[in-house]
Amino acid sequence: MSGAGPNAGSVPNESRGAPRGSSGAAYALLAYSAWGLLPAYWKALGAVPPPEVLANRVLFSVLFTFALLAALGRFGELRAALRSPRERRGLAFASAFIAVNWGVFIWAVQAGRIVETSLGYLLTPLINAAVGVAMFGEHLRRVQWLAVAIAAIGVGAQIAAFGAVPWVALVLGATFAAYGVAKKRTAVPALTSLAFETAALVPLALAWLLFATPTAGGALASGTPLERTLLIAAGPVTALPLIFFSAAAQRLSLISLGLFQYFSPMISLVLAVLAYDEPFTKMHAFTFTCIWIAIALFTASAWHAQRTARLAAT
């Protein structure tokens, strides 16, 4: 999920009706399929340096999200966020974390490390759990602790086998978890939040494009027609999956929505191995199997807790 993680707000229960649940599933599939296929997009820009791709992604995301806010008459949300010191701080932190996340992701894709990015986003829910325990005093059930331990075994085996920390996976997972913490402290809707977060990065993006590229503007000014088109389209490519996700979040329960989040890294993994011939060794298989077992245990535990709470309330 190399796009900005949403601030879903309250999520209604699927019991409100099958049509909402069905449309919610369709929106979730659109969002996570788009995020899963995103490596192919950045691969197509392989001749453009990653910082330059990131700078253009920021600029055209700002333009696209501001245009949408104007069309929807929602600039009031942005003004309200700017007036609140709490919201400004939360979104400023979110902006920093998502910039690192996007930058590392784009670099990793172009460097032929999509498998590792997939591992990073599979680890994110488990990192979120660790953050919840450490920062918010949340408590894990025994099964969830077991899930975290199994995931740690998988990552530890990877480190032992290759003699190196899978830093791409850990940075992506940690920055996305930190991004989630920052967003947890705000109540700004997803589209408005993305507009704020990317606007905060515009000075850096402009400085890079004007002064750090061989020619002012870089590939946007001197690249091929395909490169220029892809750079300009990075705005809607970033924002549209977020809009689909927000629509899904309004229609699905959190548990159902959570199940879809594993769809994206799985698409990326298949894309890496089958389309880009990235290596997938036995140790990769062991690590991913540990992560999948951990995710299954964690998800089953969360589903059971939600079901038990619902039955107790009736």
pLDDT digits (tens, 9 = 90+) for 230-249: 999 999 999 999 889 888 87
> For the stretch 4-13, what's the b/e string if a residue is b when 16 or more beta carbons lie within 10 angstroms of its beta carbon?
bbbbbeebee
Rounded-to-integer distance, Cα 203 and Cα 187, Å: 25
CA angle 165, 169, 170 (to 5 degrees): 70
What global pTM score does this model have?
0.86
How far is the C-alpha of 35 from the C-alpha of 49, rounded, in Å? 21
pLDDT tens by residue, 111-143: 999 999 999 988 887 888 788 788 777 777 888
Q: What pLDDT score was predicted for residue 259?
A: 72
Q: Print pLDDT tens along the chain (314 aa).
A: 665 544 433 333 334 444 566 788 898 899 999 999 999 999 999 999 999 999 999 999 999 999 999 999 999 999 999 999 999 999 999 999 999 999 999 999 999 999 999 999 888 878 887 887 887 777 778 888 898 899 889 888 888 877 778 899 999 999 988 888 888 788 888 889 999 999 999 999 999 999 998 888 899 998 999 999 999 999 999 999 988 988 887 787 766 777 788 889 999 999 999 999 999 989 989 999 998 998 888 888 877 777 777 777 77
Residues 6+ apart with CB under 8 A from 148: 126, 129, 130, 140, 294, 298
Q: What is the average pLDDT score of the chain? A: 86
